[in-house]
Amino acid sequence: MDEDSPFLTNSSRNGATTPNNGSRLDMSSFNNQHNNGALLGGVQPRDRLHYRRSSFTPLFDRDDSGICEGAIEKYINDPIHGHVLLDANTLSCIDTPQFQRLRDLKQLGSAYYVFPGATHNRFEHSIGTSHLAGELVERFRDTQPELEISASDVKCVKLAGLCHDLGHGPFSHVFDNEFIPRAIPGSNWTHEQGSEMMLEYLVDDNHVDIDREEINFIKDLIMGERRGNSQRHAFLFDIVSNKRNSLDVDKYDYLQRDCYNVGIKSSIDCSRLMKMSRVIDDQICWHHKEVYNLYELYHTRFSLFKRVYTHRVGKAIEYMLTDALLAADSVMGISQAIFHGDQYLHLTDDIIRQIERSREPGLEDSKAILKRIRTRNLYKFVDELLIPREKLGILTKENINSAEIVSCQGSNDHLQQEDVIVEFLKNNYAMKDQNPVDGIKFFSKTNHSVSYHIPKEKVSSLIPSEFQENIIRVFSRDPTKVRAVHEAFRRLMSRFYRTSDGSSNLPPSSTSPYYNSRNTTPESANAYAASWMQQQNRQSSPTRYLGNSSGGSVKRRDRSPSPLSGRRVRSSSGLKSLGDGVMDISDN
């Protein structure tokens, strides 16, 4: 964010400015030539005072920091949205410790350890969301006056966009999705609840001029649902947090901002989507020409989850951060801060620095985990399996967990439950297994007052038929036990892939570190594994001596890649290949 931008004062709106010496400077000729909307990107709504400036404001009456004393609004330069106007209500919340805390929360949490460009924070995302929320609600006000959108509506929608992420904890979703459920079992706490708490604290602590009804309305906007006896328009609750179809300004901002910072090219144009929308029957609807662009937006979200948010190394670091926070919780009381705004205020990504600096003896385990992150001695990804739809009711957390995997270990593996992490991952189009576009209504260019649905069959034959994938992932906390965990996991999974003749049709894992590119089918994988087992049985040592022409011997080390460990669990007669170099333990 670049805050080196001029304030627009009341005097400058009238075509003149007042330099420091008090004399007036006539800028009318300059205005006529140079200020025909170019500074603000073209034609803007007519009844927006700050969008129809009749003058250009030189950089007078400001200090060296670019801040003009006494001004009630200012512009900042955002890399995603360009010059963004911050009005007095917005600034009254931004210039508080509760909002400035967001500067110390990485937007993508642990993904920064994988994508070095992901340095952006919740601070700029929240400002961007507020900007888009204001743009959208003001556009509805200007183009559809029959909606009777009030100044209070505009104010609260913008503040909801600004404050919707106040409740995020250290490393964003790591805190509420991973840490809190394990630190406080049975808790249903979410960061939205934290945002409500921090909003109350912000208003009370800084004496922000806002009444109780507006505070409750902002809370409802953050949650995306009307609670109590609010008489506000229903469509307003879909701007910041849309529960109908998950299409909201929060998503508009983070999709563009995350793609920009991690270096992923994206074709989505959220500004166009906003311009091609209108309110019909108290619901936000889109022009029918935008239907395919909306599918593209949801696919971009899915792609970011697949490639960035759930990156296997990033997830491994997430589990390490979670374990480090859990190990420090009894000493530092981290989890209890969610109930106290004054404590939560100081809970940011800097918590790991506090742990590392501390000399408390009870933090040694936590510090050891953090040192592993610093030295890149990470938890290791072991394997993953895409769950077919027909097995969703079988491959559940009750059947696939660390205890079950450990029960399938070999006799000399010495695995413990704490060595194994099992993750059930769901990647989708933002509405679980449903098509989100089914919840969107459209209007035609010939009739702006009637809305309707567009079935995906009328959009493209390449629209997916399923909108959620379910994946089981396995990690090992001990890098030396990756192979043992992998073999135990494959043995467990083979139980659920038995055929009528007793053989296993467990698909080979293309993501396993022991996968060989030649093993593209179960049959080839099994044959390759069997040949390696025979080779290992013939060799008593990995070092062989070969005769040479001079009658001596040449020492040569076998460098060929092996999908197996070279260690037999039982005799060869008691082993059955399961593919990927894993041998089953037969019941003899």
Give the catalytic positions in this structure.
Answer: 191
Q: Which residue type, as a one-letter code, is found at position 471? A: I
Q: How far apart are CA 473 and CA 305, in angstroms?
A: 15
What are the tokens at 19?
Answer: 């330099």
Which residues lie below 8 Å from residue 465, measured CB to CB, with a gap of 6+?
A: none
Alpha-carbon span 255 to 268, nearest angstrom: 9
Half-sphere exposure of 133 (CA within 13 A, CB side): 34
Residue 544: in which H helix or E strand, if any? strand 543-547
- Are 211 and 156 in contact by the 8 Å Cβ rule? The answer is no
- Bridge partners (DSSP) of residue 583 are 577
Burial bucket for residue 129 (CB in 10 Å: 0-12, 13-18, 19+): buried
Q: Which two tokens stand for residue 497?
A: 């892939």
Could you tell me the two tokens for 263? 């270096």
In the block, residue with structure tokens 């888009």: 132
Residue 134 · residue 162 · CB < 8 Å: no
Q: Closest by alpha carbon to 433, among 474, 401, 493, 392?
A: 392
| 553-557 and 575-579 strand pairing | unpaired
Count CB neighbours of 516 within 10 A: 18
Contacts from 350-355 at CB under 8 Å and sequence distance 24+? 350/104, 351/170, 351/325, 352/170, 352/321, 352/324, 355/324, 355/328
Direct distance between the N- and C-terminal alpha carbons of the chain, in angstroms, rounded to an integer: 68
Q: Tell me which amino acid residue 171 is.
A: F
Which tokens sit at 28? Answer: 């009318």
d(CA 282, CA 273): 18
Phi then psi for 381, rounded to 5 degrees? Answer: -70, 135
CA–CA separation, 329 vs 320, rounded Å?
Answer: 14
Is 250:241 a contact under the CB 8 Å cutoff?
yes
Q: How many CB atoms lie within 10 A of CB 417?
A: 12
Exposed / middle / buried, residue 261 (Cβ in 10 Å: 0-12, 13-18, 19+) = buried
Q: Which residue has the tokens 């920009």?
A: 260
Residues near 30 by Cβ (< 8 Å), separated by ≥ 6? 56
